[in-house]
Amino acid sequence: MSRYTDLIVGSVFAVIALIYFGMSFNIQEAGVTQMGPAFVPRVIAGMTFLLSIILIANSVGALKHAEIQPAGAEDRANEEKPHYVPVVLTAVLLLAYVMLLEPMGFIASTIVYLFLQFNISAPKTRKGLKHQGYFLAGAVVATVAINTLFVTGFNVMLPQGIWE
């Protein structure tokens, strides 16, 4: 995978640049200035495309090079393998949190989020019943403290949802 990273990155950027360039034709010109609102985006699209082509070319060159002298295999063994399960869980939990924040209200959604996130994040040795108690207490205390500070202290209208 890592050998092809730059090739993938370059290709993704090339595609983005093309889509973005295409979308720049949807911009309505107001006609009040000599240079319209689509000009700068098109320059950016052009630069992005050019850079992505350079990156693709470079990485193809490097791949050919690598075929002759295979290298880099040993440092991959040293790297600790990332675990993607907690990453995906964290991302999904975050998404659910911000989506439910408004309908559920800040207090309810934050307590649930914190409690679940503590559980995802904590190492296996720290997930016993005792720790669950700590997690719940921590979630409640942190949530109430933040809510009080912002809502009463600073008049920030955090969504109160079911608490309203």
Partner 1 sequence: MSDLNHLNKSVLSLCVLAAVGVAGPGAALAKDYPAKPIELIVPAGAGGSTDLSARVFAKHAQKKFGKPVVIVNIKGAGGYTGSKTVYDSAPDGYKVLYTHAGIVTNNVTNTAPYSYDGFKVGPTVIEDPSLALFVGGQSGMKTLGDLIAKAKAEPGKLKTATEYGAFTYFMLLKLQKEQGIQLNLVDVGGDADKTVALLGGHVDVMPKVYLGTEDYIDAGDFTVLGVAQAKRAPNAPKVPTFKETGIDFEYHEYPFTIFFQKDTPQAVIDAWIKIAQEVAADPTYQKDVEKLGMVPVYKSPEEAAKNFAAMQAEFVELAKEKAEVAGQK
Partner 2 sequence: MDIFLNALWDILQPASVMLMFLGVAVGIVFGSIPGLSAAMAIALFLPITFTMGPNAGMTLLVSLYIGAISGGLISAVLLNIPGTPSSIATCFDGAPMARQGEAGKALGVGIVFSFLGGLLAFTALIFIAPPLAKFTLRFSPIEYFAITVFALTMIASLASGSMVKGLLSGMIGLLLATVGVSPIDGARRFTLDIDNLTSGFDLLPYLIGLFAITEVLIAAEQFSADKHVEPLALKKIKGFGFTLAEFFAQKWNLLRSSLIGLFIGILPGIGGSTSSILAYIAAKKQSKYPEKFGTGIMDGVVASESANNATIGGALIPLLALGIPGDGVTAMMLGGFLIHGLTPGPLLFKTSAEFVYGIFAACLVANMIMLILEFFGLRIYIKLLKVPKYILLPIIVVMCVVGAFSVNNRMFDAESILLFGLIGYLMYKAKLPLAPAVLSFILCPLIETNLRRGLMLTEGSFLAFFAKPIALFFLVTAIVALIVPLVRTFRSHRAKAAGTTKTPVG
From partner 1, partner 2, none, which one binds at residue 103 (CB under 5 to 8 Å depending on kind)?
partner 1
From partner 2, partner 1, none, which one binds at residue 104 (CB under 5 to 8 Å depending on kind)?
none
Q: Does 44 bind partner 2 (CB under 8 A)?
A: yes
Of 120, 98, 117, 119, the residue nearest 109 (C-alpha): 98
Q: Contact with partner 2 (CB under 8 A): which of 3, 11, 20, 161?
A: 20
Please work out, in degrees rounded to the nearest 5, the angle formed at the alpha carbon of residue 61 by the alpha carbons of 57 and 65: 170
Site string for partner 2, 137-156 (x = CB under 8 A): -x---xx--x---x---xxx
C-beta of 81: minimal distance to partner 2 in Å? Answer: 9
Residue type, 112: V
C-beta of 163: minimal distance to partner 2 in Å? Answer: 16
55 three-state secondary structure: helix
C-beta of 19: minimal distance to partner 1 in Å? Answer: 18
Measure the CA–CA gap between 113 and 97, rounded to whole angstroms: 6
Q: Contact with partner 2 (CB under 8 A): which of 15, 58, 71, 162?
A: 58
C-beta of 64: minimal distance to partner 1 in Å? Answer: 41
Dig out the tokens for 2 from the structure: 């890592």
Is there a contact between 21 and 43 (Cβ–Cβ < 8 Å)? no
From partner 1, partner 2, none, which one binds at residue 52 (CB under 5 to 8 Å depending on kind)?
partner 2
Using CB under 8 A as the binding rule, the residues of this chain from 87 to 126 that contact partner 2 are 87, 89-91, 94-95, 97-99, 101-102, 106, 110, 113-114, 117-118, 120-126
117 by Cβ neighbours in 10 Å (0-12 / 13-18 / 19+) ranks as middle
